[in-house]
């Protein structure tokens, strides 16, 4: 194994997170990273327009997802890339506000929250789900949440979204890995939103 180049305290944990993701069978892609301590945050992120800095590092990244530990070594041994989960390859996600997430828990709708959940330090939660059935319309009012599917991605912990926002596990993946059905999560989000 080649020696990894390190420059931040997150380097080793990013490499470990990338390895763990592909070992779970998830597809990932490297994300941009900041040069510490004087990084420029001038690049606007296409997935989170209000959070500059994080974006897929590779153009057309969805065509070449990373699926093996060998590929992880090839990428993460060179730089502390963010770890981005490529949605649409068996795992999708829904992003909700902290208020809606709390409403799901207090409204007895938490039975669908059986899988991994990512917390962003800007008061957002990302609930990982199985891939939607083709007949499921993954549309939600933007005030309630946002589906990440197809050629979309979400940051996996401990990826930094920007200087002040970091992805962390609210509920880490467990073995055996269980993902809630996308339709159950969508119904819970709609129910919580209607009571909210």
Strands, E assignment, 32-178: 82-86, 91-97, 117-120, 124-130, 146-148, 153-155, 167-171
Query: Residue 10 pLDDT more than 60?
Result: no
Q: What is the pLDDT of residue 9?
A: 45
Q: Does residue 72 surpass a pLDDT of 70?
A: yes
**pLDDT value for 132:** 67
pLDDT the model gives residue 196: 65
**Interval 13-41 mean pLDDT:** 82
Mean pLDDT, the chain, integer: 82
Tell me the pLDDT band of 38, cut-offs 50, 70 and 90: very low
Whether 86 has a pLDDT exceeding 60, the answer reads yes
pLDDT reported for residue 144: 81
Label residues 54-85 b or e (16+ Cβ within 10 Å = b). Answer: bbbbbeebbeebbbeeebbbebbeebbbbbbb
Number of Cβ within 10 Å of residue 50's Cβ equals 10
Above 60 in pLDDT, residue 43?
no
* Residue 25 clears pLDDT 90, i.e. is over it: yes
Tell me the pLDDT tens digit for each residue of 139-175: 667 778 888 888 899 999 999 988 889 999 999 999 8
Task: Provide the residue ranges of all domains of the chain, joining segments of one domain with +.
Answer: 11-195
Are 55 and 45 in contact by the 8 Å Cβ rule? The answer is yes
**12-26, 54-68, 142-156: lowest mean pLDDT where?**
142-156
Q: Which tens digits make up the pLDDT trace of 104-149? A: 888 778 888 889 999 999 899 999 999 765 545 556 677 788 888 8
Share of the chain above pLDDT 90, in %: 41
Q: What is the mean pLDDT of residues 31-54?
A: 53
């Amino acid at each position: 194994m080649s020696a990894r180049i390190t420059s931040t305290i997150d380097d080793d944990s990013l490499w470990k997170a990338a390895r763990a993701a592909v070992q779970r069978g998830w597809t990932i892609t490297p994300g941009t990273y900041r040069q510490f301590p004087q990084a420029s945050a001038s690049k606007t992120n296409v997935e989170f327009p209000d959070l500059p800095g994080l974006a897929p590092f590779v153009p057309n990244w969805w065509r070449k997802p990373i699926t093996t530990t060998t590929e992880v070594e090839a990428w993460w041994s060179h730089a502390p890339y963010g770890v981005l989960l490529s949605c649409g390859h068996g795992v999708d996600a829904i992003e909700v506000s902290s208020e809606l997430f709390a409403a799901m828990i207090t409204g007895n709708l938490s039975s669908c929250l059986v899988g991994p959940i990512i917390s962003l330090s800007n008061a957002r939660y990302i609930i990982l789900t199985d891939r939607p059935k083709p007949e499921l319309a993954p549309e939600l009012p933007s005030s309630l949440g946002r589906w990440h599917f197809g050629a979309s991605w979400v940051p996996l912990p401990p990826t930094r979204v920007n200087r002040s926002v970091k992805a962390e596990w609210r509920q880490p993946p467990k073995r055996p890995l269980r993902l809630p059905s996308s339709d159950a999560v969508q119904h819970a989000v709609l129910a919580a939103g209607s009571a909210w």
